[in-house]
Every structure is written in structure tokens, then in C-alpha cells.
Amino acid sequence: AAHPLGNFTVNRFSGLEISTSTVLVHYAVDMAEIPTFQELRAIDSNGDASAGATELEDYARGLALSLLEGVSLTSGGAPVELTVEEAGAALRPGQGGLDVLRVDAVFAGELPAAAASLVYRDTNYKNPDKLGWKEVIAYPVGGQGIVTSSVPASSVSDGLRSYPQDLLSTPVEVTSAKVEVAPGAGGGGEGAGAGLEEGVGSPGALIGGSFASLVERELSPLAFVVAMGLALGFGALHALGPGHGKTVMAAYLVGADGRVRDAVIVGISVSAMHTASVVALGLVTLAASSVFPPEAVFPWLSLAAGVVVLALGAWLLWVRGRVYAEHRRAHSGVEVARPPHGGHEHGDEQDHAHRHDHDHAHGHDYAHNDHDHDHAGRAAGEELTHSHGGVAHSHVLPDAPLWSWKGLAAVALAGGLLPSPTALVVLLGAVALHRVAFGIALVAGFSIGLAAALTAIGILVLRARSFTTNRLGERAGVALPILSAAAIVAVGLYLTARALSSF
């Protein structure tokens, strides 16, 4: 089953068992699939590609000693010496043929007879890249009592064994405790989490778990075809969830006068970028995780995506703002100054705003070199307003195409730069099962399904734009691109701020 807190998390728990003369710290670490995959190299000391009971025991003892250095306990300000009493580790099946790892340790210490105030701190895995659940509880035993406590006496996660669904989106983050104790003083700290449901899979987690399980199935030609079909479906369903730049894609298609063909290109581009990012991060995990751990790479990828989206939105808003300003001047009868020129022919080959409906020659009373020109094409940047016989007349002049390969690349980065953790699990699971080609095929199928769903969303957005413009008229046609550009800026600001907050 998939780890309920995500495939990258390292979760930890401290349970302080306080008696009149001793304290036991029940310490647990629960690692999801990706960090477990990385730790297996340290566990497999004999290099036989498996984790035996002795290897797990040795690993747990070594990790417990390391974890002990990251915890501290004081009584009345004086340090309490802790030692490792017990340590053990166990692997259990996770997603995509990968395991998850749990390590349990018990640290013991002697309390002075006059112990009254205890302060506990856990500084392990303090790197902000290490995401996960952090919980501390404290409870009395053997006639000891707790007067006050900054932490509860019971665990809402059953010591990292059952995470409550209500708190999965906002995990507990407690790494310290202050406890006032006195013999026979009564119960522990204020209870927490009464009535909370046990952890269950969200719809997104269920989709991810089902997709990841495909890599473990027995292979045959029919099974391969079925697996690829399911991967396509899971990718399409995944696209309907949060992320993958749907808002940016939709806003860019509207703001840049996109067409159905452009929606297809965007979908394919996001798919290609997503596949490439999964493979690239998989290679980093396999070859350079000690230097570039995936959980450290993700915040930088998030920041890059946010900055790209913000830049795209700002550029589109600037261009559309110019077009709108020229449009307003044209309709208010203000002429835009242009260099003097004389009589010439206009070839109006495409529909545009005219106060009259016939072909004609335009004469002007000032001189310039005779030439022919037309006003074909739609506006990208600048609207030219001039008069013909006293009648205001406007044309939009493209100084640069709004729909460009640079813009397309920006949308592809926004939608595909951050790989799906589940897709990464599938790839790493395929490596562990020696099914690399099958894993890459599943990731590609997943990405194609993602592209199909994004393309469909883009086409629906374009149809909605046409309907809105036809019903509401020219003003909507001018306002919608500006609102779309503003939406891209807002999304870019949000993504950038969220990425910066993770550092």
C-alpha cells in the first residue's frame, strides 16, 4: 500500500514514558518508499541485493546510535544521559514493488530524585527537505504524575502505525516537549485527536497505488496491453487532480489566442516534459542521491516552475495591456501619431473593424514613398488608429506573435517539470524488479493519458472562450485575454511563494 503521507516522507515519533526514577523514550522512524530505497544500500552490507534479518538488526542499532545524538533531555536544566536499550527495523511492502522501512528504538535515562521539570528536544532530520510527520507525547507510569505538559498523553497516529485521514494534509509537526512532573499528581497532558478516523487512502492515493501496482504484475503480451491501457487511464485521472499547470495552460490558450491545434501541442509537450522529468529524477535517485536527494531537488523544481509561470504571465499581461490601451484610444477617437505618409493602397484581406464595408483607396494629404500593404493577421501587440475622411479607423499590428515556442516551452515546464511521485516510484520499482523497459513504458503511457486529458481540457476552454465572446461581444473578446494573463500572474506568484516557503 502507498504511504499515506507521500512517497518522499521521513516520519518520526517520540513517546516519553516517565516514572518517578527513570524515563524511556520510545523513538520510531517511518520511511516512505523513496527514502527506504535510498537506505537499502546502507542496510545491504553484504551486497546480495537483499536485506536479511542480521543486516536489519545491525542497521537498526547503528541508526539508533545516530538518532540518539539528535535528541536531548534535561531535568531542571541539567542534562539527562540517555542510552540505547533496544533497536529493531522491519521492511514491509509499499508501492510499485518498493518497500517502506520502520525503525524502533528505546532510549533510557535515570531521573534525579527531585525531578520536576523535563524538557525534551528532537533535532533529527532537521533538514527542511525532510518532509513528514513529527510527533511527541508524554505519559506517566509507576505512581508518577504529570502536572502540566505541552504535548498530549496519547498518540493520534498510534506511534506512526495509523495516520488519521483528517490530518494528512496538515501533518503534526511537534519536535519538543516541556513536562512538569510530581509523584501522584494525576493524569498526563491534554488528550488529542478524540474521534479522529484512522488513515485511509484519498482518491488520489488510490489512483497512485493502483498505477504503481502495475509494475509488479506478471508479464505477458495480453498483460502488457492491459497494463498500458490502465496506465493511460490512470494518467488521465491523475490530470484531473491538482497540479500539472491546467490553470496556466487554459489561461495561456485564451490569452494568446490559441487554437485547437495549439491545445494538442500543449498536451503533447506537457506529456513529454513529464516523462523526461520522471526519468531524470529517477537517474538522480539511482546515481547521485547522496549529492542531490530527490526531496532536495523538488523545492528547486517548484521554484523554477513558479518563476517561469510568473514571467510568462507578466509578459502576456504587458502585451495584452498595450493592446487594450490602444483599443481604448481607438474607440475614444484619439489618433495615434505616425510618421507622415502619402497615398497608398490598402488590401484588407481579413475581417477587421471598419466604419464602411467597401473596397477603396485611401488618400492622405502628406507625402511618403508609395507602397502597398495590408492588415492581415490578428493583433499581437499594437493597434494603429488613423482616420479616413474624418472617420476613425483601427487595425491591430502584430509586433510579435503571442503564441510562440517560448510560451509553449514555459507552459510545458509549468505542467511537466514536477514529476508525479507515483510515476517515480513505478520507475524505481521497475529498476528493483529488473523491468526497466516496462517501467519506462508505463511512465510513458501514464504521461500520454495525462496529455490526452490536458488536451481535452484545453479544447473545452477554447470552445468556452468562443461561446463567451460570441454571446458577450467585443468587450469580452478584449477583456478575456487580459483576465487570463492576470490569472497566470496570480498562479505564478502563488507557486513561487509556496516554493520559497519550503526552503
In sequence order, the β-bridge partners of residue 347 are 374
Instruction: Lowest mean pLDDT of 107-116, 127-136, 328-337, 408-417, name the range.
Output: 328-337
Instruction: State which of 200, 222, 253 marks the end of a domain.
Output: 200
Contact 499, 302 (CB under 8 A): yes
Asked whether residue 222 falls in the same domain as residue 130, the answer is: no
Q: Determine the Cα–Cα distance for residues 177 and 372; give it in Å rounded to an integer.
A: 82
Calculate the alpha carbon distances from 274 to 3, 107, 287, 372 in Å: 22, 45, 20, 48
Asked whether residue 179 falls in the same domain as residue 238, the answer is: no
Asked whether residue 147 falls in the same domain as residue 14, the answer is: yes
What residue type is 242 in one-letter code? P
Tell whether 417 is covered by a domain: yes
pLDDT band at residue 411 under the 50/70/90 scheme:
confident
Instruction: State which of 200, 226, 242 marks the end of a domain.
Output: 200
pLDDT band at residue 403 under the 50/70/90 scheme:
low
* pLDDT recorded at residue 142: 81
What residue type is 187 in one-letter code? G
Tell whether 393 is covered by a domain: no
* pLDDT recorded at residue 252: 78
- As for how many domains the chain has, the answer is 2
What beta strand segments (E) does 276-429 contain? 344-347, 361-362, 372-374, 382-388, 391-397
Instruction: State which of 147, 169, 200 marks the end of a domain.
Output: 200
| Higher-scoring residue by pLDDT: 282, 378 | 282
| Higher-scoring residue by pLDDT: 61, 428 | 61
Asked whether residue 226 falls in the same domain as residue 269, the answer is: yes
* pLDDT recorded at residue 390: 47
Tell whether 366 is covered by a domain: no
* 250 three-class SS: helix
Q: Determine the Cα–Cα distance for residues 319 and 490; give it in Å rounded to an integer.
A: 17
Asked whether residue 193 falls in the same domain as residue 279, the answer is: no
Please compute, for residue 224, the number of CA atoms within 13 A of its CA located in the half-sphere on the CB side.
9
Tell whether 348 is covered by a domain: no
Tell whether 376 is covered by a domain: no
Q: Determine the Cα–Cα distance for residues 412 and 452; give it in Å rounded to an integer.
A: 14
Name the average pLDDT for the chain.
77
Q: Determine the Cα–Cα distance for residues 115 and 92; give it in Å rounded to an integer.
A: 40
Axis-axis angle for helices 221-239, 436-472 (nearest 10): 40
Asked whether residue 238 falls in the same domain as residue 170, the answer is: no
DSSP string of 426-438, one letter each residue = HHHHHHHTT-HHH
Tell whether 386 is covered by a domain: no
Tell whether 333 is covered by a domain: no
Q: Average of pLDDT values for 49-54?
A: 88
- pLDDT tens profile 434-457: 888 998 999 999 989 988 888 888
Collect all residues with Cβ–Cβ distance below 8 Å to 372 and sequence separation of at least 6. Answer: 344, 345, 347
Question: Domain range holding 469?
Answer: 205-323+401-501
Tell whether 437 is covered by a domain: yes
- pLDDT tens profile 61-118: 999 999 999 999 999 889 999 999 999 999 998 888 889 999 999 999 999 877 789 9
Contact 96, 213 (CB under 8 A): yes
Asked whether residue 247 falls in the same domain as residue 225, the answer is: yes
Asked whether residue 216 falls in the same domain as residue 127, the answer is: no
* pLDDT recorded at residue 330: 62
Checking if the pLDDT of 413 tops 50, the result is yes
**Bridging pattern class, strands 144-149 and 176-183:** antiparallel
Instruction: Lowest mean pLDDT of 169-178, 226-235, 380-389, name the range.
Output: 380-389
Q: Average of pLDDT values for 313-335?
A: 70
Asked whether residue 147 falls in the same domain as residue 209, the answer is: no
pTM of this prediction? 0.65
- pLDDT tens profile 330-354: 655 544 444 444 444 444 444 444 4
Checking if the pLDDT of 464 tops 80, the result is yes
- pLDDT tens profile 275-308: 888 888 888 877 776 667 776 777 888 888 888 8
Asked whether residue 183 falls in the same domain as residue 265, the answer is: no
Asked whether residue 100 falls in the same domain as residue 116, the answer is: yes
Share of the chain above pLDDT 90, in %: 25
Asked whether residue 20 falls in the same domain as residue 150, the answer is: yes
